[in-house]
Each structure stands twice: as structure tokens, then as C-alpha cells.
Structure 1
């Protein structure tokens, strides 16, 4: 087998890997714990068992300490080539933003993945639902204009739990009630529908000057939030960042 090409997205809550096949098509995504190198090794050994030559890695990181640990882990297991995307400025994408050199590479890569998937010709809004929720604006001619950063579902729930004396941790989904007669359902209603309502409002505020944008959702909570905001026709693509990363690092893929 040829040397493997692997893309990795290092976030604040999850580490995601995917391998490109011989045609450059992204394979299934593997979500890994942030602090379990033993599990990393099991996955990597399976991928490298029949490979010839050093693996080529493309890595996006918004978590510098974990990026350092992953690099040390990978180099300790043998030869490997790396291309890092640590900021939005490093992503090959038309931009009309300020401070790209300090912006998250994941935001720009999600835009690149969306453009790769949907093409230019119509404005796009990319909603990424992770630790934070971001909404990225893309013009009809494919220029990223920046967007919105808001609190994600899990972060909202953890903040209410950790910064109060008595509120428990909750993990609500679309079955959350509209209101509650006790603490837990009241929290579930506020966390889920408050977040869904915020995203709905933020999307509505982007539309007047964009016209009729396409909306694409990605991230771990997208399958919970997208239908609650847009209904069953919402378009969810869970691996947009990895798709953008594969194109940025290995542009010969189809």
C-alpha cells in the first residue's frame, strides 16, 4: 500500500482523524478521546499495518497543548511528515477578515470544505456546532467574511453547572421541554431552546445583506440543533473541517 495520508482535527472537546483512500477520498471519521494515547495507538497501528513509507499528516489545531502531545506521540512512533494549520491565515481561502493570523484554522477549513462541497455562485452560511457555535459568512464569489462565535450546548450546560451552587449538569436534546416544573427540565429547556433560539436569531441577522444563502451545518451537535432550527430539511455534513483540511493539504484529491 502507498504511504497513508491522514487528516486530524484537534478541537477543545474531541480529536478527530480520517484517512484518505488511494483516490484521495475521505474515509470514515474516528472520534478519539483527548487524553488516551493508548487508543490513539490502536487506531494508528491498524492504519499503518500494511503501509509502505512514512505517513503524511495534515493537522488542524485550536488546542496548542494537545497539538504538542499529539506531535510527540506521532514522532515517537516512527517517521512521519506533518503539515500544520494552526491559524485561519494558513488556510488557502479568499478572506475579507481581520486578524486571520490569530483566528481559528477550524473556522476557515469548515468554509473551505463547504465551498468544496457546494461551490461558489450563491452565498453560504456555515454553522459549526462544537464547544463553541460559529456561523461563517461566505459571499457568492467564495470570499469568507468572518462571522459569529457563540456558546455551544455543552459549554452552556457546564457553565450553569460549574458557576452556580446547586444547578446540576444536563445534556438536553430536541426532546427538551419548552418549560419545566422542576430544576432539571427547566435547565434542559433553557440550555437547548435558548441555544437553538440564539442560532436562529443569528442566522436571521445574516440574511438581509446576503440574500438567500445556502446553510450547511457541521460539528458534533449539528444533528441535534439543525433540525430544531431549520426543520428536517436542514443540511448536516459532520466532517466539513476534515474535508477542508484534506483539500488544503492534498489538493490533488478529486
Structure 2
């Protein structure tokens, strides 16, 4: 939806009609990070790739760093397309845009803005990042095959997209870092594990407390993802493709089978598709994106 205050106008028409004048900035606001990507238009690949990206802390965002990133003359005026699951951080960013970039255009995406069929009870309550990932996957999966979309971030989501391109829902579980904090905060003696050290798979056999925690955190997450992929696709139509994104993606992708594809900027690509009015593999969405 276009933002309803005077400094901002709906961005879709502006971007599509005058893409050379407005740089497209896709913004993925999560619970801990803000990821931004700049896209040049037009693009030829099925899923657009950002020409440049930046990531900042979502709890205390360094917006001066974002301003420096936007210092390129080509980004002097921008169309911002935002997918957010964190309302306080979104408010911070919008306030900054209002003050620092009053000539830009801003659109805050909702489920009804996406060309995606959604077969769940409350599409408006589904995290927009999950829907944007599904929109992106519909552009890169084989048309005759369903897809499982795994996002390994603050939370881990494992979602199913049908062979017809319909988002069917899925599962949400704690991310690796969240689980590590829980082990530390809800016990007396267990330390907080440095998650940077889980960039590669740890040995399954931990011979002291910290290695044992690393093993449980990492392999517990991998095992949960494997089991959910199997459960979500048992009895389905066709062998699913598995697409994986998120901070721990590269380490996990190689452990989920040869058909698993790691897509680093899946959500940002979905935002760019939404900005360009990209259609889903399953065709046109029903009213408000809901399967009727």
C-alpha cells in the first residue's frame, strides 16, 4: 500500500513509468536486521538480483551508513518498496525517510499487493517475508514441481508452494541464534554460544559443554528442517524443489540434498518482483490474493 501522508505517494506507477528517474530500493525488515538492495531495471533473469546490497542492525539501525550507501547520484531519488515483520523498526525507517529523503516514493507491502495465490485462513497474518519468498520461488522453480521454501533467520520457516504456485502455509520454529539465547537465559550454567562459529557444520559429538551445545543447536535445526520437508511433501504431487535463504543458508543448504538451491537474496528479489508487478507461477491471484 502507498503511504498515506503528504510527503509520500504510491510508488508503483512512478517506478514503472519512469524507472530511469527513480532507483528501486528493496527493503527487507526482519526482527534483527534490515537488508536493503538496489535494483536496476529492466532485468532479464527470471529472479532479479540486486546490483548492490547493505545490511544494518535492526534494533539500532545505522541510518547514516544507509545514507552513505545511497550517495550514488543514480539513487538521488528512489522508490522504496518495503517488506517488514517488525513494526517498531519500520516506524524508525519511515520517520527517517520523511525527514531525510522527502522526494522519494515509499510503498509498504501487504499480502494483497502480491500476485500470489494464498490458501491459508488469514493471509493478512502471514509474515510478508514468507509470501515474498514464495513469490520469488514461483519465478525460478520448475513449473511442474512443487517447492519447499526454507528461510533460516531469527526464526526458521519451512513453507510449501504447490505445483500450481499456491502458498499453502508451513511451519515456524526458533532460529539457531534464538535457541542459543534460550539455552543461556533459561539455565543457570550454560553459556551463550557465539553463533558466528556455526558458519560451518560442527562435529555431532561434543566432548565438552560448548561443543555439545553447538552440535545440538546446529544439527537440531538441520534435523527439524529435514523432517519438515519430508512431512510437508509426503503424498504430494511430484518431487519438490527445495530453496533456502537466510543467514545460515550456505552451511545448511549442502546438508539438505542435491536438489536444494541456496538463493542469498530471495526476499529482496521477491520485493523487486512485487514492485514490477511480477506474476506468480500459478497465474493471477484471487481477490486480495486469497484463493477462494
Question: What TM-score do the two structures reach when normalised by structure 2?
Answer: 0.79
Give 2:8's aligned residue.
none
Aligned residues of 1:9 and 1:61 also touching (Cα < 8 A): yes
Secondary structure at 1:15 match in 2: strand
Q: Which sits farther off after the overlay, 9-18 or 176-185?
A: 176-185
CA distance in 2, matches of 1:123, 1:132: 23
CA distance in 1, matches of 2:81, 2:226: 33
Candidates 103, 107, 118, aligned match of 1:83: 107
Question: What TM-score do the two structures reach when normalised by structure 1?
Answer: 0.91
Deviation of 1:132 after TM superposition, in Å, equals: 0.8
CA distance in 2, matches of 1:163, 1:134: 23
Aligned residues of 1:94 and 1:142 also touching (Cα < 8 A): yes
Deviation of 1:89 after TM superposition, in Å, equals: 4.1
Check if 1:33 corresponds to 2:57.
Answer: yes
Aligned length: 248
Superposed CA deviations along residues 146-192 of structure 1, whole A, max 9, x for unmatched, are 11111111111111112212111222343312122211011011101
Candidates 159, 179, 187, aligned match of 1:164: 187
Check if 1:18 corresponds to 2:37.
Answer: yes
Aligned residues of 1:174 and 1:228 also touching (Cα < 8 A): no
Deviation of 1:236 after TM superposition, in Å, equals: 0.2
1:103–1:51 distance in 2 versus 1, CA, 3 Å: closer
Aligned residues of 2:115 and 2:277 also touching (Cα < 8 A): no
Give 1:220's aligned residue.
247
Moved over 4 A (4+): none
Give 2:262's aligned residue.
236
Check if 1:42 corresponds to 2:65.
Answer: no
Deviation of 1:51 after TM superposition, in Å, equals: 4.5
Aligned pairs for 1:110-149 within 5 A = 110-149=133-172
CA distance in 2, matches of 1:173, 1:2: 40
Aligned residues of 1:88 and 1:107 also touching (Cα < 8 A): no
Which structure 1 residue ranges, 5 or more long, are not aligned?
none
Taking CA–CA contacts closer than 8 Å with sequence separation of 6 or more, which of the two structures ends up with the larger relative contact order? 2
Check if 1:195 corresponds to 2:214.
Answer: no
CA distance in 2, matches of 1:96, 1:226: 27
Q: What's the RMSD between the two structures over aligned residues?
A: 1.9
1:102–1:90 distance in 2 versus 1, CA, 3 Å: farther
Give 1:95's aligned residue.
118
Secondary structure at 1:229 match in 2: coil
Aligned residues of 1:59 and 1:83 also touching (Cα < 8 A): yes
